[in-house]
Homo-oligomer: A and B are copies of this chain.
Amino acid sequence: MKNNPHRMITLGSLTLMTPFLMNVTGMKAKAAKKPNIVFFLVDDYGWTDSEVAYDGHPYPNHQRFHTPNMARMAQMGVRFSHAYASPVSTPTRTSMMTGMNAVHSHITNWTSMAKDEPSDAVGGTNGAMTYDQIAASTGMDRPEWNYNGICPVAFQKDSAELKLNHLQYATPMVQFLRDAGYYTIHVGKAHWAAAGTPGASPLNMGFVVNIAGTSAGLPKSYLSEENYGNTPEKWNLSAVQNLYEYYGSGVFLTEAITREALKTLDFPVSHKQPFYLYLSHFATHTPIQKDKRFFSRFKKMGQDDGQSKYASMVEGVDKSLGDVLDYLKAHNLTDNTIIIFMADNGGNADVKSKGGIPHTQNAPLREGKGSCYEGGIRVPMSVYWPGKTQAGRIIDAPIMPEDLFPTLLEMAGIKKYETVQPIDGRSIVNLLQGKESNWQRDVIFHYPHQWKPDYRVEVDFLSTIIRNDWKLVYVMKERRLELYNLKEDIGETHDLSVSMPAKVKELAKALGDRLRLWKASMPTDRTTGKVVPMPDEL
């Protein structure tokens, strides 16, 4: 389904799309008992933020963390050295849910908590400068994009009544799981769509249970002492919902989310129904707060306060993963449960509260969240598929979030499904089983936005294409291209664009073709009023 021609795009108005009928090939003829699936997603979590070396090479950063369960998971299953995600949260999540590349869905940035608030530069909050002032200072204006996120297709009529726009209609992946008999559970962060739109509710996305999932992209607080943000002093739309029982209890958010997730498994397990548990942790997103169960370990190692807080949050996530693995084992489910462990984007390297030296937290990777350099998009990922994955194997093939759409459905034995949206993702089922010898995949990410009010050339208005070992970065504001060889230079420190013009031309053409095909959202030059050129039109 690569390069499936799109039928229509949705930008600023309502559009209906004709259904795309999928036929997944390569399935076994006889359907086996449906496997359970646990999707364990970590937020803003860097590639080196654990004991696990995802490419098999140890880096110094690994020593800052204590993650025995992530190591256990990596040993149980396969891990990816080149699992890629969008530079920010929502596009990864919407690509998983729609099967569309973020360029194609035009959901290229994170969705605001409230409706009709593009998150560019000011993030929908009131900063010191208005968005207009910021855009004037950089000379770059945000593109049109689908800042209200996904709208589940079932709501087309209702949504029209609500005059919704700037959203991508889609048939959500989880709906197919539910329709195939899965008990579909959402616990934690959702962040597919803005409040006031149907996509804000996981129950409209195919989930039958929702705990805490809203339009918010972060938790107002991890602390039960602050009621997870539900106090008069702290409250805003990111206050975490559904956790009243833990208020004041001393239970850190990561732990509360885990307990709720395991609680919800009791019903499908006792009824012998297959389940899909989407355990989507708020951790390790900001605010960086101390998980007091683990903090002192890292202080004793000599890490600073911010580093120790962050590492304690990571260990909280690790403990959560261990609790899930233990639950599955205790209920004799390990042999029939697929577990996917992944992060939604790279670690945040632009926040003082994490301690250490900003912009180095993902070393050896360059930069972090928000950026199209490797620190922003290369993420930890491991998959355990009983009887299918070879324990401890490392897969070097590059994969993208949209690949999870067809992959999960194929894993669940769902062979035919109709979607209103085109599917850009490719199933990685054969990759996982070691049966794919000729995987070729252009990795494309496109961030036509300014992330924060202060412009940063290493983060804002970047596009990238990765083909084999080569990576092109298009710095849109400066209208220039950079070239890196990731195999030789994982830190993207040596720009080879001057010395290798043919490779630059090849990749610029490939990237430009794809951006044109998908009618990419492009930023505008304020002085000319024109969108910036494609990378092969410089």
Contacts and interface: CB of A to CB of B under 8 A. Distances in A.
Contacts of A195: 227, 244-245, 247-248
A264 B209 CA distance: 9
A232 interface: yes
A278 to B, nearest CB: 16
Contacts of A247: 114-115, 195-196, 200
- Majority-rule SS of A interface residues: loop
Given A203-B211, A203-B263, 5 more contacts: A183-B267, A196-B244, A198-B245, A200-B245, A208-B209
Contacts of A273: 271
B215 A244 contact: yes
A208 B242 contact: no
Contacts of A201: 242-245
Interface in A187-218: 195-201, 203-204, 208-211, 214-215
A29 interface: no
A64 interface: no
Contact of A245 (B197, B230, B248, B249): B197
Contacts of A211: 203, 210
A32 interface: no
A102 to B, nearest CB: 22
Number of copies: 2
Contacts of A246: 196
10 contacts: A196-B245, A200-B247, A208-B266, A208-B267, A209-B209, A210-B211, A230-B237, A232-B236, A241-B241, A242-B242
Interface residues of A, number: 43
B162 A249 contact: yes
Contacts of A271: 181, 273
Interface string A262-275: 01101100010100
Interface string A401-418: 000000000000000000
Interface in A464-518: none
A210 B208 CA distance: 10
Nearest to A209: B209
A260 interface: yes
Nearest to A230: B237
A230 B236 CA distance: 8
A271 B268 CA distance: 12
B196 A249 contact: yes
B267 A178 contact: yes
A20 interface: no
Contacts of A178: 267
